Amino acid sequence: MKTIKPIRTEADYEAALREIEPYFDQEPEPLPGTSEGDRFEVLATLIEAYERQHYPIAAPDPIEAIKFRMEQENLTPKDLVPAIGRLNRVYEVLNRKRPLTLNMIWKLHKQFGISAESLIQPPRLQSPVTA
């Protein structure tokens, strides 16, 4: 059995991916104490930590996060009124005409479980449509 070591370089990362790849088709039973299950779990943890540090995934754009939640929960703009304000304000926010306020962010997070981290970043500008 090959010794597991920390992933410090890209070469270490690629070697760990090669080693864990066979498990993707048939994940071992995650029973505590089984050597194969323990090995899979340790490798997955090491790979995840390396990826989190070297390949971070940015939080989604605030408006896209709101729209995603709306789609997930089959919400309409009217459902956002308690968190954002009047319906016309909801449309202004969704159409990027009005920024989110701290109060809106707090309410969206509490009422709909949208990540505060996603909501507090500046919205990405929409690319202009070229004709």
- Residues 82-105: pLDDT tens digits? 999 999 999 999 999 999 999 999
- Assess contact for 126 and 61: CB atoms under 8 A: no
Considering only CA atoms, which of 16, 19, 17, 107 is closest in space to residue 66? 107
Question: In 10 A of CB 79, how many CB atoms?
Answer: 16
Interacting residues of 44 by C-beta distance below 8 A, sequence separation 6+:
20
Q: Name the segment(s) of the chain with CATH classification 1.10.260.40.
A: 62-120
Q: What is the pLDDT of residue 1?
A: 54
Distance of alpha carbon 51 from alpha carbon 33, whole angstroms? 26
Mean pLDDT comparison of 16-20, 66-70, 121-125, highest-scoring range: 66-70
The predicted model gives 55-60 an average pLDDT of 82
Amino acid occupying residue 50: Y
- Assess contact for 63 and 71: CB atoms under 8 A: no
- Assess contact for 28 and 38: CB atoms under 8 A: no
Domain 62-120: assigned CATH number: 1.10.260.40
Is residue 28 pLDDT above 70, yes or no? no
Q: What is the pLDDT of residue 96?
A: 93
